[in-house]
């Protein structure tokens, strides 16, 4: 059975990292969601991939320079992709998404701390603020990041499950993974070494940027436990078809 993770929610059919995208993924039966977190000027975890508002909101400015109450009023309809279809869709806070899943204990949320925020505000503030928000829902949350120091600090300070998003797949990175012992390792399918089994360890592999069933099957055969995709609707339908066959 192929386990799907909704990358920024059902981001193929809805504006990414929005409540509408997450609700759609849940309605399609997914039990794993992934989102990105940046910090606002007043230290509130905001669900958005870029610190800049240009791509998704079509306006100039950075969430780093705005308070959370201002950011919540900004629309992110992604008009370049959807035209006016999702006008009125707004940026959620991390706590808004946690509220969405609080009655769904079977759902796991991967919370990715972005490096931009770590560089702007520092590890102590960013990791601390994220942990404050996820603490009541820690059983459902996994804190992840490309930044090794951030996930290590989340484990040491917050006692939460962690996932490291890998930038390379050399022996040095493997040794670091074995020392860290995360619950999850994330890998980009476009950067994985060709062929061969994925490293075995304490972790489960989540492989992202996957939007076809044959690729998902081949990655599962290599040892991937979860397949992360933005094409949630088409991939979930394809997986159901495979299970029926």
Integer Cα distance of 76 and 168 in angstroms: 32
Nearest to 183 by CA among 74, 67, 32: 32
Chain CA centroid to CA 40, Å: 18
From the candidates 49, 172, 225, 226, give the one annotated as an active-site residue. Answer: 49
What is the CA angle 166-228-28, rounded to 5? Answer: 160
- 40: Cα within 13 Å, side-chain hemisphere: 16
Annotated catalytic residue 49: yes
207 burial type by CB count under 10 A (0-12 exposed, 13-18 middle, 19+ buried): buried
Nearest to 225 by CA among 200, 245, 196, 242: 200
From the candidates 7, 123, 138, 225, give the one annotated as an active-site residue. Answer: 7
Residue 6: beta bridge partners?
33, 229
Annotated catalytic residue 7: yes
Phi and psi at residue 145, to the nearest 5°:
-170, 155
Active site residues: 7, 49
């Amino acid at each position: 059975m192929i386990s799907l993770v909704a990358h920024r929610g059902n981001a193929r059919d809805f504006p990414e990292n929005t409540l509408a995208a997450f609700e759609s993924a849940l309605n399609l039966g997914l039990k794993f969601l992934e989102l990105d977190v940046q910090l606002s000027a007043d230290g509130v975890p905001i669900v958005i991939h870029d610190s800049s508002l240009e791509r998704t909101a079509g306006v100039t400015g950075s969430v780093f320079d705005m308070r959370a109450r201002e950011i919540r009023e900004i629309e992110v309809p992604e008009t370049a992709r959807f035209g006016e279809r999702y006008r009125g869709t707004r940026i959620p806070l991390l706590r808004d998404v946690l509220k969405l899943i609080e009655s769904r204990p079977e759902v796991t949320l991967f919370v990715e701390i972005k490096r931009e925020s770590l560089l702007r505000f520092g590890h102590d503030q960013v990791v601390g603020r994220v942990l404050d928000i996820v603490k009541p829902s820690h059983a459902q949350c996994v804190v992840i990041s490309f930044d090794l120091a951030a996930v290590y600090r989340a484990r040491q300070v917050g006692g939460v499950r962690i996932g490291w998003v890998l930038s390379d797949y050399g022996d040095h990175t493997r040794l670091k993974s074995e020392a860290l012992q995360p619950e999850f390792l994330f890998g980009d399918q476009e950067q994985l070494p060709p062929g061969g089994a994925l490293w075995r360890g304490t972790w489960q592999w989540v492989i992202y940027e996957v939007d076809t069933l044959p690729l998902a099957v081949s990655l599962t055969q290599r040892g991937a436990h979860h397949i992360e995709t933005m094409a949630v609707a088409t991939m979930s339908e394809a997986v159901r078809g495979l299970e029926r066959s």
